[in-house]
Every structure is written in structure tokens, then in C-alpha cells.
Amino acid sequence: MSAVIIRPEESGDETAIRLLLVNAFGGEAEAKLVDDLRSAGDIVLSLVAARGGEIRGHILFSRLLVRNGDETFPAVALAPLGVHPAHQREGIGTALVEDAHARLAAQGEKLSLVLGEPAYYGRFGYSRERAAGFESVYQGEYLQALAWDDAAPASGRLDYPPAFADLS
């Protein structure tokens, strides 16, 4: 089996990413979210995992703002992370998250938030406790945060890109 190559999304990957997300999530919502984030220019980082010339996984981080009084702090939101069902449990999702985190930290990002399964995302350092102080429509047990810098805020209102408003 050949190695998985993690690389930035390129022009021409859109259709393959869309099909992968529809298959991974069993519906259009995540694919539409990615399309809308891409159209709005809200993507901070989009990576694909390819093997044998086929895209097997995808991860996307969009710009998120933390507002605390008059201060605004840039952060990123992880959504979505998808791996084609035929290639799950091969370490592709883990490779995507770890590679993306290294790139984001190197770019100077300080805070990431995710709405997802605590047992899965906790393996990468995300925690419910770190996200508990944020005000958000997504506040609850699945909202988790990861800080790469102690200067990252631990409270404030989370303003997601408008594309998230369309999620049901």
C-alpha cells in the first residue's frame, strides 16, 4: 500500500472533495459548507490526503473570530474533517489533523475550535474545559478548543463565518 500524501487543496480538487464529503457524511451539508466557505473566502487551511492519485480525506479550517468587548482575536474552526468510508481506520484522519495543526501553529495561529466527538478530538489536545468559557450557539459538550499559545483567549463570543448559519 502506498503512503498517503497530505497536501494543500489545489484548483481542480473541488469535485473530488465534494464527493468525498457526501460519501463520508451521507449527505450534502458538509459539502455545501465547504463550497460556501470557499466561495466566501473564509478558508484558512484546506488539506487533502491522497493515495494512488485519489483523494481519500479532507480537512478544512475557516476563520473564526473571538469577540471580547472591543477586542477581536482571530482563531480557526475545524470543520469538516472527512475520510472516505472505504478508507476509514487507516490513520488518514489522524494524519490530516496532525499535519494541519503543525501548519497552523507555524503560521502563527493560536486557537482552534471544533464541534465534534470529545473522545476523538481529545486525542489531539482539544478539550471541553478549554471551550467552556466561550459564548456560542454551539456551546455544549461537543464544543472543544485547543490553544497553541497561552495568550489565546479563554472566553468571549465566537463569531463563525456566515456559512455556518445554514447548517441544520
Asked whether the whole model's pTM tops 0.85, one would answer yes
- How far apart CA 33 and CA 35 sit, in angstroms, is 5
Q: What is the mean pLDDT of each run of 10 residues along the chain (168 residues)?
A: 88 96 95 96 97 94 96 97 93 97 97 96 97 95 96 95 82
User: How many domains, in total, are found in the chain?
Assistant: 1
Residues paired with 159 in a beta bridge: 65
- How far apart CA 108 and CA 92 sit, in angstroms, is 24
30 neighbors 62 (Cβ within 8 angstroms): no
pLDDT attached to residue 96: 98
**Cell triple for residue 39?**
466561495
Neighbouring C-alpha atoms within 13 Å toward the C-beta of 60: 24
Domain that includes residue 29, residue range: 5-166
Q: What is the CATH number of the domain that holds 39?
A: 3.40.630.30
pLDDT attached to residue 1: 54
CB neighbours of 98 closer than 8 A, spacing ≥ 6? Answer: 124
